[in-house]
Structure 1
Amino acid sequence: MSLQAELEQRLHPLQPTHLSIANESHGHGGYFPGKESHFKVVIVSGQFDGMRAVQRHQKVYAAVGDLIAPSRIHALAIHAYTPSEYTGDVPNSPDCAHAPKA
């Protein structure tokens, strides 16, 4: 199973009303086809109601557990919203200083 699929499976218990996972590994140093190391997660869940951003991130990290490891997922950008907050507008990820040069 791919890391992206594992990530999706681990986040399912948070009962997201919206979940998108983007593999952004191609924009980082050391990229090769098929590499899975950098991901961006947009998750909308009623379970985040009443939580501060850091608490939401902690909940996501608890769900993904050991997937965050040097040999697995190196970086995880988390955009966690309640259903009433989510507008569909999500910030772009910053460019990596070690991104492959064109």
Structure 2
Amino acid sequence: MALSHTKLIMDERNKTLELLQIAINDKNVKESSELFKLISDSLKTMKAGKEYTLICVKLSNSISKYLLGHQFRLPDSVNNLVKQIEPIAQKYRGRASISMWANKLF
């Protein structure tokens, strides 16, 4: 079981890395210095081997802020990336909120 879970995480990480690479090469991303920096920083962090879940959460938060200032528009390559990272970010946020609620109960 642990081996298949580890493989699943590695598959997700590799898919995210691939989508980051596609996004960084997208001409629409390159035209936005703000969006390019978000993607570039995340790509560097992924390649450095940092914690995958936290990278997804941070990138998800950053893209959400970006959307607020840009009429909720994203290039397709970044939208595909969001579809990949958002479930991971949501799961992390859910676990974090459960622990906060549990601490308040006891």
Q: Look at both structures and tell me which one has the larger radius of gyration over its CA atoms.
A: 2
Higher share of residues assigned helix: 2
Q: Which bracket does the TM-score occupy, shorter chain normalised?
A: 0.3 to 0.5
TM-score, length-scaled by structure 2 = 0.32
Higher share of residues assigned strand: 1
TM-score, length-scaled by structure 1 = 0.33
